[in-house]
Homo-oligomer: A and B are copies of this chain.
């Protein structure tokens, strides 16, 4: 009997692909075992549980998204950086809807603190350097940006914008523009 060559890494990667194909909530150890042509129980040498798999995919997605965003904002500042951040975020979600959903999984505090989620927050703060906003306004702004980006992407993904004929692309630009203006006016001397 030839071995399939399973590793935790490969399982999580395949789980991420599966998530994009069938939706994150349809990702199951059974489906993953089928995809590798092995029996379900075999995965338990590499995964502690189904929850463990999901958490793994979530961490993987957070990492990947953080990498993309970091790449996008590198060498940019101000509105440029804001737009690049926004685009990277939204593009990732559209390209990898399952992974994006995974990235939104509730993680327990320790796991979250050790995740790439921290980098996300740092990068958002980095964007704000171009706008001279001091604390505590800076934190307010970080939260607002996170909310808008996540909220928009989440609503768009769930089809919330399909009632109206207005192009979501236009709305996105309009919103990024508005946020830029807003942040420039919120500068603290």
Give residues in A with beta carbon < 8 Å to B.
104, 106, 109, 112-113, 117, 121, 135-137, 139-140, 143-144, 146-152, 154-155, 158-164, 166, 168, 170-171, 174-175, 178, 181-182, 185-186
Contacts and interface: CB of A to CB of B under 8 A. Distances in A.
The A interface is mostly helix, strand or loop, or mixed, namely: helix
A182 B182 CA distance: 6
Contact of A139 (B106, B137, B155, B171): B171
- In the complex, which of the residues A143, A158, A181 has the most CB atoms of chain B within 10 Å of its own CB atom? A143
Contact of A147 (B104, B143, B155, B159): B155
A163 B135 CA distance: 15
- In the complex, which of the residues A104, A164, A178, A181 has the most CB atoms of chain B within 10 Å of its own CB atom? A178
Contacts of A106: 158-159
B137 A174 contact: yes
A164 B139 contact: yes
